[in-house]
Amino acid sequence: MAYNPIFPVGYQPYTPFPQYQPQMQGANMPSANQPQQMMTPPTIHAEIVQVDGEQAAANFPVGAGASQMMIAKDESAIYVKTAGANGTTLDVFVKRPPAPPAPVFKPEEYIRKDEAEKLIHAILTAQTRSHDKGDEE
């Protein structure tokens, strides 16, 4: 009769603590002076449906717990319809023209403070002289 052990073949006894393995810096371990890689934001791919307008977007069927992006055929707005437990919501994003470019600063079109003070002084002096000449006549 063959020997029949209580434990199955290949049984490894349970060890409650992992075996200690010293940390080694090598090709597989990052060192402190290596730069960390930047995380890239996730990319979201969405299916956008063309609709005739806001009313068509509001009437578009959307499954519970889902969202659907839509765009007006004339590209005047984007709609996002979301169906949740409390009903549906329709977010409307209206297309606007791009912001005008910032004006270019042209220093030759402005005067300095000291130049303004001289100009004001000259105007006041000229007014005073013309006023005094009027009193003499």
Residue extents of the structural domains in the chain: 48-94
Instruction: Please provide residue 126's backbone torsions phi and psi, each rounded to the nearest 5 degrees.
Output: -65, -40
Give the pLDDT confidence score for residue 30 in this predicted structure: 55
Q: Within a 10 A sphere around the Cβ of 71, how many other Cβ atoms?
A: 17
Reported as a single tens digit per residue, the pLDDT across 113-129 is 999 999 999 999 988 88
Give the sheet arrangement for strand 77-84, strand by strand: 48-51, 67-72, 77-84, 87-94
- Assign 28 to helix, strand or coil: coil
Q: Which two tokens stand for residue 3?
A: 């020997």
Indicate whether 132 pLDDT > 50.
yes
Average pLDDT, the chain: 81
**pTM of structure:** 0.47
